Amino acid sequence: MANLREISVSAALNLLSAFAFLVAFAILRLQPINDRVYFPKWYRRRIRNSPRRSGVCLTGFVNLDWRTYIKFLNWMPAALRMPELELIDHAGLDSVVYIRIYLLGLKVIGPLAVLAFLVLVPVNWTGETLEGVKNLAYNDIDKLSISNVPDGSKRFWVHIVMSYVFALWTFYVLYVEYKEVAAMRLRYLASENRRPDQFTVLVRNVPPDPDETVSEHIEHFFRVNHPDSYLTHQVVYNANKLAKLVQKKKSLQNWYTYYLNKYERTSKRPTTRTGFGGVVGTKVDAIDYYSSEIQKLSEAEALGREKVLSDPKAIVQAAFVSFKSRWAAAVCAQTQLSHNPTIWLTEWAPEPRDVYWRNLAIPYFDLTIRRLLMAIALFFLIFFFMIPIAFVQSLANIEGIEKVFPFLTPLIETKSVRSFIQGFLPGIVLKIFLILLPTILMMMSKVEGFSSRSSLDRRSAGKYHLFLLVNVFLGSIITGTAFQQLKTFLHQPPTEIPKTVGESIPMKATFFITYTMVDGWAGIAAEILRLVPLVIFHLKNMFLVKTEQDREEAMDPGCLNFATYEPKIQFYFLLGLVYSAVTPVLLPFVIIFFAFSYVVFRHQVINVYDQRYESGGSFWPDVHRRLLIGLLISQFLLMGLLSTKNIEKSTIALLPLPILTIWFHVYCKGRFQSAFVRFSLQDAMTKDTLERATEPNLNLRAYLKDAYVHPVFKGRRHFDSPLLVPDEENNTLVLTRRSS
């Protein structure tokens, strides 16, 4: 167990490392050669065309102006300077709402820390219980925790009262934030420009018809049931294999352009080899070789395209159906189309950039089975992952290392080494175990078959949050205690075991302090330094970049990884809420994480990230719900802890808290969630009326023609929808080939 000195050593090392990576970031970002890595967003928008140069520069690679290095923290006020409305226009509402999660952490945890240090820390410190217990290992941090208050003391009523104060303050901040984000979303939807998804609905599980094709059946159904508003539709094709072929052809075209440019510069015919990577096989003329390969792939692509278009089995029982107005699309997306609730299922179409085309080919019936299998797989993943984490964490301390490697005991017992190990090792071990987890969870979400990238991110974030909650938090408390105190358990009467487990909650505060410092600083450093993208960019620039398009792709600005980042934020919320009434000394570390992350991610959103899609902040209800789950856990853990302290009626006194929290969740859900899942008919009609007044000659059919065509079919004449003549539009009878 780390003591105050060891925690101080760890904190000092983290502060030094933080200063070091800030200096490193300042040096790296000022070099002209790295400009495309640290400011790719401006390059993609064609606003930044040349490397930044201040004063004297050595060619275009190194910045030698020493004055720019003195002001190495100037990027912080610059990141905070852009107003929120301008930031929404610049980066989108999703990015702004995500950044507000860090700001929410400061609003919630900051006042909790002030109250806890003013009220609870003096109550705990003056308890003087640990000093009177013989043969008990404790440290100065434990004196600041609830463990230092004697059993049965009336001091615990201060903790009970403060838990109500903490909960009410959290309710207030969450309510205000939910209200503000909902208002921001409504303003954004009301003010945003015309987009294809405003007029389009995704229809799934289209029932088969023996007399009509899927396309004819869809058109017939909507012209009958939405005669005044139906405009056009686009059936979904299973073009996954064709997409791989198109991607391969694109890669070959890039090589062809590279060798053609090389030939124009040198007037010498370039050569390559036909084997793997162009380094093995027969040597041939590069231009002729890639030209012939592209021709072969073009022919294969044309055949594959015709095969997909002519094969009825390639048509999926789904379609994107577009309407003449937003109002009509809202009616269709939010109503039941058939008396059978399992067919003609409708939902708002994702933004075209947001569509995950690969999963649209999955039959609707398979989705339920896939999600059941992935739920079972997630259970076993969480369960079996807990075993190695618990075992390794039992070794990731001084006692565990000395048992496994007894010859290292003299070195480990040295004060400096001991402080370093206790301050860093547990957090580093846990960090290593979690490196590949987000990728695994995203793969599981893709198998589940969600049709949009935003849905995949939200689903994967939910899995990661559950994993962190069960394995990292509860696993560190329960399984870590079980391994370290197994002998104590075996020699205790059963009635004493809950008390031992309850006491482990404040005892684990030192571990979570080190985890917060290691994981938090490591994440922020990796985020702002962008060392991996930096190395990859320069390697690609030296060996793989052949054309200007290659250089654009090598920049790879990335995007906000909501599926990974948001669950980690929730974990820090959980630590702050749980330990605010138990061991408040942890709260300053959480506050530092939120404050620095807020500045860093604001900088990244302004200068780096290029979002893959825009959902209008639709993920906020998930953020709100998971935060309340953390609050509930903190309340139940406090109830369990106080039940071991011989406090009469403590459980009865705290029981209203979780009930109040659940009621608050239900109220906020009913009050605000509709703004994130529905679009009001009133707002839709307002936008339609305004558009008709300002653009009376708008050709909506032409605007929507290629919006939801699979990328491999973009611009193809196969998808030119026939124009309806006036007589056909006004005809109440709909032609059909159905014989029944």
pLDDT (0 to 100) of residue 164: 95
Do 153 and 16 have their domain in common?
yes
pLDDT (0 to 100) of residue 547: 65
- Total domain count for the chain? 2
pLDDT band with cut points at 50, 70 and 90 for residue 541: confident
pLDDT (0 to 100) of residue 487: 45
Residue 361 lies in a domain: no
Q: What's the whole-number mean pLDDT along residues 274-286?
A: 75
Cα–Cα distance for residue pair 578/635, rounded to 1 Å: 8
Residue 718 lies in a domain: no
Do 599 and 460 have their domain in common?
yes
Q: Which of 108-117, 312-321, 514-523, 597-606 has the lowest mean pLDDT?
A: 514-523
Q: What's the whole-number mean pLDDT along residues 77-85?
A: 90
pLDDT (0 to 100) of residue 281: 75
Helix crossing, 562-579 with 453-467: angle to 10°?
30
Cα–Cα distance for residue pair 196/350, rounded to 1 Å: 9
Do 216 and 183 have their domain in common?
no
Residues 528 and 25 sit within 8 Å (Cβ to Cβ): yes
Q: How many CB atoms lie within 10 A of CB 290?
A: 23
**What letter does residue 721 receive in the DSSP assignment?**
P
Do 56 and 147 have their domain in common?
yes
Cα–Cα distance for residue pair 733/357, rounded to 1 Å: 35
Domain that holds residue 33: 4-193+366-678
* Nearest partner of 478 among 461, 456, 503, judged by Cα: 503
Classified as helix, coil or strand, 629 is helix
Do 642 and 563 have their domain in common?
yes
Cα–Cα distance for residue pair 154/127, rounded to 1 Å: 11
Q: Which of 71-75, 161-165, 329-333, 716-720 has the lowest mean pLDDT?
A: 716-720
Q: What's the whole-number mean pLDDT along residues 528-552?
A: 76
561: tokens are 């990884």
Q: How many CB atoms lie within 10 A of CB 117?
A: 15
On the question of pLDDT at 579 being above 50, the answer is yes
Do 326 and 401 have their domain in common?
no
Do 177 and 222 have their domain in common?
no
pLDDT (0 to 100) of residue 725: 41
Do 377 and 313 have their domain in common?
no
Q: What's the whole-number mean pLDDT along residues 634-640?
A: 88
Query: How high is the mean pLDDT of the chain?
Result: 81
Residue 644 lies in a domain: yes
Do 621 and 510 have their domain in common?
yes
Residues 534 and 21 sit within 8 Å (Cβ to Cβ): no
On the question of pLDDT at 472 being above 90, the answer is no
Residue 528 lies in a domain: yes
Of these ranges, 184-188, 275-279, 355-359, 627-631, the one predicted with the greatest mean pLDDT is 627-631
Give the torsion sign (CA, 224, 225, 226, 228): positive
Residue 729 lies in a domain: no
Residue 735 lies in a domain: no
Residue 722 lies in a domain: no
Give percent of the chain with pLDDT exceeding 70: 77
Cα–Cα distance for residue pair 173/656, rounded to 1 Å: 20
* Size of the chain in residues: 740
On the question of pLDDT at 718 being above 50, the answer is no
Do 300 and 440 have their domain in common?
no
Give percent of the chain with pLDDT exceeding 90: 28
On the question of pLDDT at 607 being above 80, the answer is yes
140: tokens are 């100065």
Do 269 and 304 have their domain in common?
yes
Residue where a domain terminates, one of 655, 678, 701: 678
Q: What's the whole-number mean pLDDT along residues 505-518?
A: 67
Classified as helix, coil or strand, 339 is coil
pLDDT (0 to 100) of residue 211: 82
On the question of pLDDT at 102 being above 80, the answer is yes
Of these ranges, 105-109, 186-190, 435-439, 718-722, the one predicted with the greatest mean pLDDT is 105-109
pLDDT (0 to 100) of residue 54: 44
Q: What's the whole-number mean pLDDT along residues 559-570?
A: 90
